[in-house]
Amino acid sequence: EISLGLVGSEMCIRDRDKNQELVNRRKASHLGGGEQRIARQHEQGKLTARERVILLLDEGSFQEIGQFVEHRATSFGLDKNKIPGDGVVTGFGTIHGRLIYVFSQDFTVLGGSLSETHAAKICRVMDLAVKNGAPIIGLNDSGGARIQEGVVSLAGYADIFYRNTRASGVIPQLSVIMGPCAGGAVYSPALTDFVMMVEDTSYMFVTGPNVVKTVTHEEVSSEDLGGAKAHAEKSGVNHFTASNDVEALKKVRDLITYMPQNANELAPNPTKFEFTNSKLSTINDVLPENSTLPYDIRKVVECVIDDNSFREVHEDFAKNIVVGFARIEGKTIGVVANQPAAMAGVLDIDSSRKGARFVRFCDSFNIPLLVFEDVPGFLPGTDQEWRGIITHGAKLLYAFCEATVPRITVITRKAYGGAFDVMNSKSIGADLNFAWPTAEIAVMGAKGAAEIIFKREINEAADPQAKWLEKEAEYAEMFANPYRAAERGIVDDVILPSETRAKVIAGFKMLENKAETLPYKKHGNIPL
């Protein structure tokens, strides 16, 4: 009965029954931009804003706020084009029984574009989320600022950015990109803790392919410029990739179980966990005999944590460091691990940024940190130096130094140079440091060290090469082991790989009531 063009104040209500009026208004709101646009959304492999909310939250838990809100714009015929809800579905519900706030942009309504009122609806749920200490999840699918509204929609974005920043470190904020996200609109997700992108149907960029072509003469598709893969592998903007909407929403439901509701709480404890005991012996065989050969640190991680509990973050970005959530006896921890299988686990600009961001999330939200260390040092070269490895490497150092959550380090093999200090050493506040018998803890590798400190002896020897080898062996004998560090208390214990899980469990139990506060400050000045 209701023509979609005649809603809101002009709506012709034939049925005088007040309840029926409400039912009709709800229907109109639920229909968004109408059947045709919904069909187009489905044809593109995308769900509608409402379908997404329903799948994200526990069945029947969604409570909508603001479904009759309409925009107030009049220019360019907008006064004749009002859809209740104004292109964003907002409200609250639960995920696994825990309170969650949500907004979901409706592309069928003016391309999900952000108007003054659309922004106000998002701000309202953000404010409620902060006041009530619960995570907020944004499902983004929008053509950006509502062009017909001009500056008020820009101000609306700024209202959201401001709240994203103020809420940072107070409640977890997750962004799922399920359609376009262009221009300044990208900065709201960028300010949140995690970004998840859906393959093929989502993209993020500050300027699209047309502008890129005009300005830089580069020809690039939306997907190559700002698709899920590009941001997962190249820029690191995207933390998680999903192959479709349903998978994305499932992944978010799972991810949120690793996080507390807010900065004053701990992550929930699932009551049940499983651990395959045979992993206690498998772990002995992960490292290769030859200490110069690579291995996958994730195999070590898997042997220490609860079965199937690892959720890798930034899986495809800066693979030389592995970060992610895991559980130990059902409790959430954050894992940071050098990855010898990629660039020998060296620290470079991207891996430092990746590690630092994750460490800061965990510290903000009371998630203990478990670090696995096998790092030959920082990556040398003009590219790294000129792009600022000094500043970026300092981010990881800073993040560990300021973290007050329980922190345990396990050195599996190499711990060389400045990278030893950076990777959660005790001097920068780690609570417990363990080393495996295979650990090598020194200022640098034996070959380079011998070359420097025995330079004259090597040069003056009858056979310099033989002398070098002899001195290299001497240095290695001295430092390529964990015992010099253990003698000085720089590592707390040398442990067998098979003992790692038990040591880590006991360590985190001992640290359960750790209470450490930072000196009073407005905020620190992390080297950005």
Binds ligand HXC by CB under 6 A, chosen from 144, 268, 345, 417: 144
Residue 200 buriedness (CB in 10 A; 0-12 / 13-18 / 19+): middle
Q: Tell me whether residue 183 is one of the annotated catalytic residues.
A: yes
CB of residue 108 to ligand HXC, shortest distance in Å = 8
Structure tokens at 359: 């460490």
Stretch near ligand HXC under the rule CB under 6 A, chosen from 147-155, 248-256, 265-273, 444-452: 147-155
Binds ligand HXC by CB under 6 A, chosen from 73, 110, 304, 422: 110
CB of residue 41 to ligand HXC, shortest distance in Å = 9
Q: Tell me whether residue 418 is one of the annotated catalytic residues.
A: yes
85, 138, 143, 183: the active-site residue: 183
Cβ atoms within 10 Å of 166's Cβ, excluding its own: 12
Nearest residue (CB) to ligand HXC, 134 versus 177: 177
- Interhelix angle 349-364/389-402, rounded to 10 degrees, is 20
What's the rounded Cα separation, in Å, for the pair 520 and 516? 12
Stretch near ligand HXC under the rule CB under 6 A, chosen from 105-113, 261-269, 364-372, 381-389: 105-113
Nearest residue (CB) to ligand HXC, 180 versus 393: 180
Nearest residue (CB) to ligand HXC, 94 versus 148: 148
C-alpha distances (whole Å) from 185 to each of 49, 80, 437 are 18, 26, 51
**Among residue numbers 164 through 183, which ones bind ligand HXC (CB under 6 A)?**
180, 182-183
Nearest residue (CB) to ligand HXC, 157 versus 475: 157
Structure tokens at 431: 């609570």
- Which residues on neighbouring strands pair with residue 313, listed in sequence order? 323
**Among residue numbers 17 through 56, which ones bind ligand HXC (CB under 6 A)?**
37
C-alpha distances (whole Å) from 165 to each of 120, 159, 168, 171, 173 are 16, 10, 5, 11, 10
Nearest residue (CB) to ligand HXC, 77 versus 97: 77
CB of residue 198 to ligand HXC, shortest distance in Å = 15
DSSP-derived 3-state class of residue 28: helix
CB of residue 160 to ligand HXC, shortest distance in Å = 9
What's the rounded Cα separation, in Å, for the pair 272 and 268? 12
Binds ligand HXC by CB under 6 A, chosen from 38, 88, 102, 185: 185
Structure tokens at 206: 């500050």
Nearest residue (CB) to ligand HXC, 210 versus 290: 210
CB of residue 143 to ligand HXC, shortest distance in Å = 2
CB of residue 48 to ligand HXC, shortest distance in Å = 14
Nearest residue (CB) to ligand HXC, 172 versus 179: 179
Nearest residue (CB) to ligand HXC, 146 versus 471: 146
Binds ligand HXC by CB under 6 A, chosen from 52, 121, 146, 503: 146
Stretch near ligand HXC under the rule CB under 6 A, chosen from 7-15, 140-148, 193-201, 269-277: 140-148
What's the rounded Cα separation, in Å, for the pair 481 and 490? 13
Structure tokens at 49: 């804003």
Q: Tell me whether residue 419 is one of the annotated catalytic residues.
A: yes
Nearest residue (CB) to ligand HXC, 54 versus 145: 145
Total number of residues that touch ligand HXC (CB under 6 A): 17
> In terms of DSSP H, where are the helices of 412-454?
417-422, 446-453
Binding status of residue 145 toward ligand HXC by CB under 6 A: yes
Instruction: Residue count of the chain, please give it.
Output: 528
Binding status of residue 147 toward ligand HXC by CB under 6 A: yes
What's the rounded Cα separation, in Å, for the pair 248 and 128? 24
For the four alpha carbons of 215, 220, 226 and 231, in that order, the dihedral sign comes to negative
Structure tokens at 180: 């376009």
Site string for ligand HXC, 438-477 (x = CB under 6 A): ----------------------------------------
Q: 67 CB contacts (<8 Å, ≥6 apart)?
A: 26, 29, 84, 85, 89
Binds ligand HXC by CB under 6 A, chosen from 93, 111, 138, 268: 111
Binds ligand HXC by CB under 6 A, chosen from 8, 133, 169, 184: 184
C-alpha distances (whole Å) from 423 to each of 346, 427, 429, 441, 482 are 11, 10, 11, 12, 16
Binds ligand HXC by CB under 6 A, chosen from 113, 175, 320, 481: 113
CB of residue 109 to ligand HXC, shortest distance in Å = 8
8, 169, 208, 418: the active-site residue: 418
Binding status of residue 143 toward ligand HXC by CB under 6 A: yes
CB of residue 18 to ligand HXC, shortest distance in Å = 32
Nearest residue (CB) to ligand HXC, 43 versus 274: 43
Residue 216 buriedness (CB in 10 A; 0-12 / 13-18 / 19+): exposed
133, 184, 208, 330: the active-site residue: 184
3-state helix/strand/coil string of 353-421: HHHHHHHHHHHHCCCCEEEEEEECCECCCHHHHHCCHHHHHHHHHHHHHHCCCCEEEEEEEEEEHHHHH
CB of residue 299 to ligand HXC, shortest distance in Å = 43
What's the rounded Cα separation, in Å, for the pair 327 and 306? 6
Residue-by-residue DSSP string for 98-145: EEEEEEEE-TTTGGG-B-HHHHHHHHHHHHHHHHHT--EEEEE---SB
Binds ligand HXC by CB under 6 A, chosen from 136, 154, 313, 432: 154
Residue type at position 452: I
Residues that are catalytic: 183-184, 418-419
Query: Which residues of this chain interact with ligand HXC, rule CB under 6 A?
Result: 37, 110-111, 113, 143-148, 154, 157, 180, 182-185
